[in-house]
Amino acid sequence: MAYKAPEIKIKTRGNKTTQYLTGLANAAGFLAEVEKIGKKGDLTDYSSFYFNLKGFGNLSKRYGHKEGDELIKRYAKVLRNNIQKGEVIGHLGEDNFIALIKKENRQSFIDFLSSVEVVATAGDNWESVWISAYIGIWDIEEEPSDMREVISRPSIALSQAKNITHETVVTVSDNMVTRTTENREILEVFHRAVENEEFIVYYQPKVDSRDKKLIGAEGLVRWKRDGKMVPPDKFIPPLEQTGEILLLDYYILQRVCFDIRKWQNAGLVPVRVSVNFSRKDLVDRDLAESIYSIITESGVDKDLIEIELTETIDDTEHGVLIDFINKLYNMGIRTAIDDFGAGYSSLSTLREFQVHTLKIDRSFINTEDFSWKDEVILSDIIHMADRLGIDVITEGVEREDQLAFVNNAGCHAIQGFFFDKPLPEEDFRKRLENKQY
Ligand code: C2E
Ligand code: CA
Ligand code: CA
C-alpha cells in the first residue's frame, strides 16, 4: 500500500502534548517546541527529520503486537538519549517519528538512525535487533511562515524515499514540494475528470516501412483539462502511486473499443490498436478477466486489440506478469512487451512470456551515430524474436537514418514521428480511410 503521511493535527483533546505510548512529544508538543525556537529566529540552524522504521511491520509480526509496542518504546528511549541540547524529537504514532536537529549534527543523526540497537524479548529469551529508518529531511533555509512545514516538508521527502526512489535518505527540494502539491490536486479531481470524459485517446499510427501502409496504432491517453492538453507523464505517476491508474486504463480500453466499433459502423476497416496497462495494475488479480470482458462485451474482435506492458526487475512482480501474459494468451488476447531494451527487459523475456510483440525502445536508436555493435545487438534480437514467431516493432523513429538503421537490422514495423504523431480520433480516422503513406 502506498505510504501516506499522517494528517497533522495540532489540536488535541485537553492539553495533551505527549504521545501516550512513548511519552515523546506528539505533533502538538513538537510544534510548540518548534514555535519557541522559531520565535528566536533560530530555525535556520536546524534540519527537520521525518522518519519511520524499515521493516517494522515484520518485526511486529515476528514478536507480536504487544512486543512491537515495547520495541517502539525502547526505540524512543534510545532516541531521547541521543539528541543534543536544544534539539527536539517527537512521535506521531505507529512508527512515525520527527526530529529537529542542529545542522552541525545532521550527518551524525543520519548515521545514528541507520542502525539503532533495541532489545526484543521472545518468551524468556531476549535478543538484539538493529532498526534502520527511512528518512526525509528538510534543511531549513528560511524561517517558515507556517510551523507545520517543519513536519510536512520532510514528510514529502520521506514519501519520495519510500515510494519512488527507494533510497534511505531523501532531502526535500522545492521541486518535490511543487510536484507533491500538484499530484495531490490531480488525485482530488481525477474521478470527476473521468466522469466528465476529460480523458481522451490519441492514436499514433504504426506503419510498415516497406509498402508504407498503415498496419496498426497505439492508443495514448490525453487529459483535456480546461482546454489544455495534459501529457500522461504529468498524471500517470500520481495515479500509479495510489493504484488509481487501473480505473483509467480500463476506461481507455473501453474508449478504444468504442472507437473501433464507431469506425466499423462508419464502414471503415480498422487496424489493430494497442493499449497500455501499467504494471501497477497487476495488483488486480482479475486483470486478465476484466480485460477479456471489456473487449468481448464491446463486440470488438479480440484480434484488434493488443495489451502493452513493461518488464520489471522485481521477482514477485515478474511472476505475476508471466501469469498475466500467459492468461491473456490462453484467452486469445495479444500482448506486447513495451520499451524493450530500456530498463529491465531482458532476452529471457522471449523464453518465459507468451507475448506476441516486442516493442523496441527508442533508446536503441536515440544516438547520433550508430555503432556496428548496436546493429549486431538489434539484429540479433529481431532475428531471435522472428524465429520464435514474435512480432517486432520499433518506436520513436524520427529520422531517415534511424529508419535505415532499423530496416537494416531487419525490422520494418515502425511507430514514430517519422511517419506520424499521436493523432486525435478525427484525424486518425482519415488515416483509416486511406491507409497509404
Ligand atoms: P509509451 O507507451 O512508450 O508511448 C510512446 C510515447 O512515445 C508516447 O508518448 C509517444 O507520443 C512518444 N513518441 C512516439 N513517437 C515518438 C518519436 O518519434 N519521438 C519521440 N521523442 N517520442 C515519440 P506519450 O503519449 O506522451 O506517452 C508517454 C507514456 O505514458 C507512454 O509511453 C506510456 O508509458 C504512458 N501512457 C500513455 N497512455 C497510457 C495509458 O492509457 N495507460 C497507461 N498506463 N500509460 C499510458
Ligand atoms: Ca506503450
Ligand atoms: Ca514504449
Asked whether 337 lines ligand 1 (CB < 6 A), one says no
Alpha carbon nearest to ligand 1 atom 21, residue: 396
User: Which ligand is nearest to the Cα of residue 254, counting in written order?
Assistant: 1
Asked whether 339 lines ligand 1 (CB < 6 A), one says yes
Cell 474482435 belongs to 301
The span from the CA of 319 to the CA of 275, in Å, is 21
Asked whether 414 lines ligand 1 (CB < 6 A), one says no
* pLDDT tens, residue by residue, 220-267: 999 999 999 999 999 999 999 899 999 999 999 999 999 999 999 999
pTM recorded for the entire structure = 0.82
In the chain, what is the greatest distance between 2 CA atoms, to the nearest angstrom? 81
- The rounded Cα 53 to chain-centroid distance in angstroms is 22
Residues having C-beta closer than 5 Å to ion ligand 3: 338-339
Q: From 395, 398, 402, 417, give the residue whose CB has the most ligand 1 atoms within 8 Å, as the site to mutate.
A: 395
* pLDDT tens, residue by residue, 191-210: 999 999 999 999 999 999 99
Contacts of 309 (CB under 8 A, 6+ apart): 276, 277, 279, 321, 324, 325, 335, 336, 337, 338
* pLDDT tens, residue by residue, 43-80: 999 999 999 999 998 998 989 999 999 999 999 999 99
The span from the CA of 77 to the CA of 63, in Å, is 19
Phi-psi category of 257—alpha, beta or left, where left has phi over 0 and alpha has psi -120 to 50? alpha
pLDDT of residue 3: 47
* pLDDT tens, residue by residue, 307-354: 999 988 788 888 999 999 999 999 999 999 999 987 777 788 888 889
Tell how far the Cα of 250 is from the centroid of ligand 3, in angstroms: 19
* pLDDT tens, residue by residue, 94-130: 999 999 999 999 999 999 999 999 999 888 888 999 9
H or E segment and range at residue 368 = none
pLDDT of residue 7: 53
* pLDDT tens, residue by residue, 263-311: 999 999 999 999 999 999 999 999 999 999 999 999 999 999 999 999 8
pLDDT of residue 119: 92
Residues having C-beta closer than 5 Å to ion ligand 2: 276, 308, 338
How big is the chain by its Cα radius of gyration, in Å? 27
Alpha carbon nearest to ligand 1 atom 37, residue: 220
Tell how far the Cα of 252 is from the centroid of ligand 1, in angstroms: 14
Asked whether 154 lines ligand 1 (CB < 6 A), one says no
Asked whether 204 lines ligand 1 (CB < 6 A), one says yes
Asked whether 416 lines ligand 1 (CB < 6 A), one says yes
CA-closest candidate to residue 179, choices 189, 187, 191, 190: 187
Asked whether 236 lines ligand 1 (CB < 6 A), one says yes
Q: CA geometry: angle at 362 spanning 295 and 252, to 5°?
A: 20
The span from the CA of 130 to the CA of 309, in Å, is 39
User: Which ligand is nearest to the Cα of residue 336, counting in written order?
Assistant: 2
Alpha carbon nearest to ligand 1 atom 12, residue: 396
